Amino acid sequence: MTGWAIEAGGYHSGRMPGIDLHAHTLYSDGTFTPRRSVGLARERGLDVLAITDHDTVDGLGEARAAGRELGVEVVPGIEFSTVSDGEGVHVLCYLMDADDAELAAELQRLREDRYTRGERMVAKLQGLGHPISFERVREIAEGGTIVRPHVAQALVEAGVVPTLKDAFSEELIGSGGRAYVEKHALAPVEALRLIHRAGGVCVLAHPGTFRETNPVPAALIEEMAAAGLDGIEASHPEHTEEVERRYVEMAESLGLLWTGGSDCHGDRYDPVRLGMRSTTREQFERLTARAAELRAAVAGGSGARPAVGGTRRRPAPPGLAGR
């Protein structure tokens, strides 16, 4: 509540309302419930918080209920883990219709894949002689989507490695590592189309952190922009001020909006980041206006977005995307 410095590129202080458009709950790899995340947003003076769990919308109902009670506007979101050229590219989705049939089917597919992938990674680790169990990994995930940090935590608990980071090695579950298992993933442009068909706004997440340290290739960003990308997450805790400035400029030159978010994972990584980065009011208004346009195009079944056979279409008022 107090003592928060105004971060470079952020607009957060203990009192000034802020807009954090990137946060995870225990429905993916965060450690806070949606309710606790929203409560913390309120304590830290945020007036808008997006919940962007990996590949799931399961935390949105609780988050939105808490938001109504506590006076925090909860923006429904998803962070898709897409793959381009064998490398992970994260794509954020906002203000979508979470009941869209095609979106729900893809999320179901991703969730099932994560479960069997988790089982297979644990089996490989056991084969390498490491004393961990899939049961414990499931407990750590607390019913949420199983992702590598959950397996990493089990490895830390079993004394195999001292920190979560150390589990992401060639010997263990780093990409291409001995116990690594590939996952089903959309290409970035496929995710973009899926998001638009569900009436959502598509923002490229933290493009400065591709392959840990290298940025997402400019050619891929341009390809996505040509396919209708709406925005770039310029402000992120792992972007330096200079990197942030570069992405704001890139967004402006491509005619895209830009966002900021803390990518808070509760206390899984410290410090608790919620509110450390934010989106300006002006950019947030662009985002909500874009969502309204996309929803209108979807409801009209024509316009900018191609209709997809078999997908349920229904008009929905903006902001009713959670469940």
Closest distance to Zn ion from the beta carbon of 233 (Å) = 9
Closest distance to Zn ion from the beta carbon of 258 (Å) = 16
Is residue 197 near Zn ion by the rule CB under 5 A? no
Is residue 58 near Zn ion by the rule CB under 5 A? no
Closer CB to Zn ion, 134 or 209, in the complex: 209
Closer CB to Zn ion, 55 or 263, in the complex: 263
Tell whether omega for the bond before 271 is within 30 degrees of 0, i.e. cis. yes
Closer CB to Zn ion, 87 or 293, in the complex: 87
Residue pair 272/287 in contact by the 8 Å Cβ criterion: no
Closest distance to Zn ion from the beta carbon of 40 (Å) = 16
Stretch that binds Zn ion, among 89-97, 120-128, 158-166, 297-305 (CB under 5 A): 89-97
Closer CB to Zn ion, 28 or 134, in the complex: 28
Closer CB to Zn ion, 204 or 205, in the complex: 205
Q: Name the 3-class secondary structure at 11.
A: coil
Residue pair 279/261 in contact by the 8 Å Cβ criterion: yes
- The C-alpha atoms of residue 17 and residue 114 are separated, in whole angstroms, by 36
Q: Quote helix, strand, coil % in the chain, to nearest 5.
A: 40, 15, 45
Residue 29: how many other CB atoms lie within 10 Å: 24
Stretch that binds Zn ion, among 39-47, 83-91, 155-163, 234-242 (CB under 5 A): 83-91
Closer CB to Zn ion, 100 or 263, in the complex: 263
Closest distance to Zn ion from the beta carbon of 205 (Å) = 5
* Three-state secondary structure of 127-175: HCCCCCCHHHHHHHHCCCCCCHHHHHHHHHHCCCCCCHHHHCCCCCCCC
Residue 61: how many other CB atoms lie within 10 Å: 14
Closest distance to Zn ion from the beta carbon of 21 (Å) = 10
Closest distance to Zn ion from the beta carbon of 210 (Å) = 10
Stretch that binds Zn ion, among 42-50, 90-98, 190-198, 269-277 (CB under 5 A): 90-98
Is residue 263 near Zn ion by the rule CB under 5 A? yes
Closer CB to Zn ion, 167 or 297, in the complex: 167
Residue pair 56/26 in contact by the 8 Å Cβ criterion: no
Closest distance to Zn ion from the beta carbon of 264 (Å) = 8
Could you give the strand order of the β-sheet that contains 18-20, starting from the edge strand earlier in sequence? 18-20, 46-51, 73-84, 87-94, 201-204, 231-235, 257-260
Closest distance to Zn ion from the beta carbon of 239 (Å) = 12
- Which among 111, 122, 166, 110 is positioned nearest to 144, based on CA atoms? 111
Among 41, 205, 243, 257, binds Zn ion (CB under 5 A): 205
Among 12, 42, 44, 90, binds Zn ion (CB under 5 A): 90
DSSP labels for 42-63? HHTTEEEEEE--BT--TTHHHH
**Which residues here bind Zn ion, judged by CB under 5 A?**
79, 90, 205, 263
